[in-house]
């Protein structure tokens, strides 16, 4: 494979997520050059070790920008991770139709369609992996013709994509029956989103609904599945409704702990609040191959759950987790101080708050706050000491008898 623009040189000019890189690669499978558009996350040049999930967008001429906009907005609020987007241009010489050529008899890719299918898996993805820092988590998206075509990657025993976004797919022959069978058989974790609208052609919409009914009849714990039907929406406008919905479905576990998650799931637990937090980030790492520090606000949510349920011993485990994630910050000592304070050891609590003062501030935890807590607890210690001294002074001395009962008995 050969590329005609120096992508690595271009990377140094990228400063925001909204900028794009145009690249052209030569496909030996199709014996032609193809244009692609690459969108890099804002942190790509500053975080030199971070790897990013990959999203391949078919119909990149008009789907690239809506996907990039939704991802950029979601990432601004930390609801969606940063993603590398690669859009494949298919708007020249009727490429989207020839790229998706299907044999009418077999319902499988043929001629140019077979070549394009192999181009994505055997040429484009290896090329992107060689040029950029890609995490193993891959997604693919398309609309109508290309949305139907991308489902062929499900026919592999081990699909090369982890998530499929099929927007109002025009399904090739037999696909409404075959996809449910494939989704039931695939054992690796898989995300699947598809949709339709009342603005779709009736024949196409009916087949999509049959597909949905077939999937809902089977059970596969490895499958994260969602189907949406939009009312009052045209075939093309459904894209703007479906894209954020699909992305938020795929990355739902990535999102910070929300008020709903706190109230409906966490605070109702009888115990294991810290374990819930650990498991949440383990799932993020396993699902998306993203290694990330636990958010400060998520630590605060677990802190609130511990206090609300008076599960104070869990502060020790939360302190250990804080030490692992933010070793230079005062977060760990702060949680140990909470443990001592809530369990009644005021002296150790004061020492822990004093120790926290020596570490870096984090979130809303400041050095002034730690000193205030130390002064507050020292005041309690002093007040308690004075109270004990007053009790001792006010208690009259007891008289010691000159003779013990035993001695009296001897004299008698």
End-to-end CA distance of the chain: 118
Structure tokens at 181: 């069978």
36 closest CA partner among 15, 10, 61, 69:
61
Q: Which residues have a Cβ under 8 Å from the Cβ of 350 and sit 6 or more positions away?
A: 337, 373, 374, 377, 378, 381
In sequence order, what are the residues at sequence separation of 6 or more whose Cβ sits closer than 8 angstroms to the Cβ of residue 26? 1, 2, 3, 4, 32, 33, 34
Q: What is the model's pLDDT at position 394?
A: 57
**Listed residue (44, 40, 73, 45) closest to 55, CA to CA:** 40
Q: In what order do the strands lie in the sheet with 52-57?
A: 2-3, 20-27, 32-39, 84-88, 52-57, 134-143, 163-167, 190-199, 223-234
Cβ atoms < 10 Å from Cβ of 299: 23
Strand ranges inside 169-326, DSSP E: 190-199, 223-234
Q: Minimal CA–CA distance to 315: which of 291, 293, 294, 342? A: 342
Q: Do the beta carbons of residue 38 and residue 86 sit within 8 Å?
A: yes
Place of tokens 């500053």: 46
> Chunked in runs of 10, what are the mean pLDDT values of the chain (412 residues)?
39 49 96 96 92 97 97 96 97 89 94 97 97 96 98 95 98 95 95 96 93 95 96 96 98 95 97 98 92 96 98 98 98 98 95 97 97 92 68 56 48 36
Residue 266 confidence (pLDDT):
98
Q: Which residues pair with 54 in a beta bridge?
A: 84, 138
Residue 333, exposed/middle/buried by CB under 10 A (0-12, 13-18, 19+)? buried
Question: Where do we find the tokens 């004061």?
Answer: 350
Q: 293 with 280: CB under 8 angstroms?
A: no
Tokens of 106: 């077999």
Inter-residue contact 167 to 241 (CB < 8 Å):
no
Length of the chain measured in residues: 412
pLDDT of residue 6: 35
360 beta partners:
329
């Amino acid at each position: 494979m050969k590329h005609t623009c120096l992508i690595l040189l271009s990377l140094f000019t990228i400063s925001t997520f909204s900028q794009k890189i145009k690249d052209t690669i030569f496909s030996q499978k199709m014996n032609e050059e193809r244009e692609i558009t690459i969108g890099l996350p804002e942190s790509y040049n500053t975080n030199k070790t971070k790897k990013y999930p990959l999203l391949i967008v078919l119909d990149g001429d008009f789907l690239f920008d809506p996907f990039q906009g939704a991802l950029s907005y979601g990432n601004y609020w930390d609801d969606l991770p940063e993603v590398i987007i690669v859009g494949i241009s298919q708007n020249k010489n009727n490429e989207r139709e020839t790229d998706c050529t299907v044999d009418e008899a077999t319902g499988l890719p043929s001629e140019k369609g077979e070549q394009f299918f192999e181009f994505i898996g055997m040429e484009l993805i290896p090329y992107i992996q060689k040029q950029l820092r890609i995490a193993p988590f891959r997604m693919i998206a398309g609309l109508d013709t290309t949305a139907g075509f991308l489902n062929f990657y499900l026919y592999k025993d081990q699909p090369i994509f982890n998530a499929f976004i099929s927007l109002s797919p025009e399904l090739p022959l037999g696909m409404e029956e075959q996809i449910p069978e494939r989704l039931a058989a695939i054992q690796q974790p898989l995300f699947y989103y598809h949709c339709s609208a009342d603005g779709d052609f009736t024949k196409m919409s009916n087949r999509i609904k049959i597909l949905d009914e077939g999937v809902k009849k089977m059970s596969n714990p490895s499958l994260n599945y969602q189907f949406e039907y939009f009312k009052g929406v045209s075939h093309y406008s459904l894209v703007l409704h479906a894209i954020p919905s699909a992305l938020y479905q795929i990355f739902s576990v990535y999102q910070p702990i929300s008020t709903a998650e706190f109230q409906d799931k966490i605070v109702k637990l009888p115990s294991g609040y810290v374990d819930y937090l650990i498991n949440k980030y383990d799932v993020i790492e396993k699902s998306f191959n993203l290694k990330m520090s636990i958010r400060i606000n998520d630590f605060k949510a677990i802190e609130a759950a511990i206090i609300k349920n008076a599960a104070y011993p869990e502060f020790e485990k939360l302190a250990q987790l804080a030490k692992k994630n933010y070793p230079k910050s005062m977060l760990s000592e702060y949680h140990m101080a909470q443990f001592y304070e809530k369990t009644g050891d005021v002296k150790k609590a004061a020492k822990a708050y004093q120790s926290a003062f020596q570490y870096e501030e984090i979130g809303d935890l400041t050095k002034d706050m730690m000193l205030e807590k130390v002064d507050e607890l020292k005041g309690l210690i002093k007040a308690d000491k004075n109270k004990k001294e007053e009790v001792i002074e006010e208690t009259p001395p007891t008289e010691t008898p000159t003779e013990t009962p035993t001695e009296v008995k001897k004299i008698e």
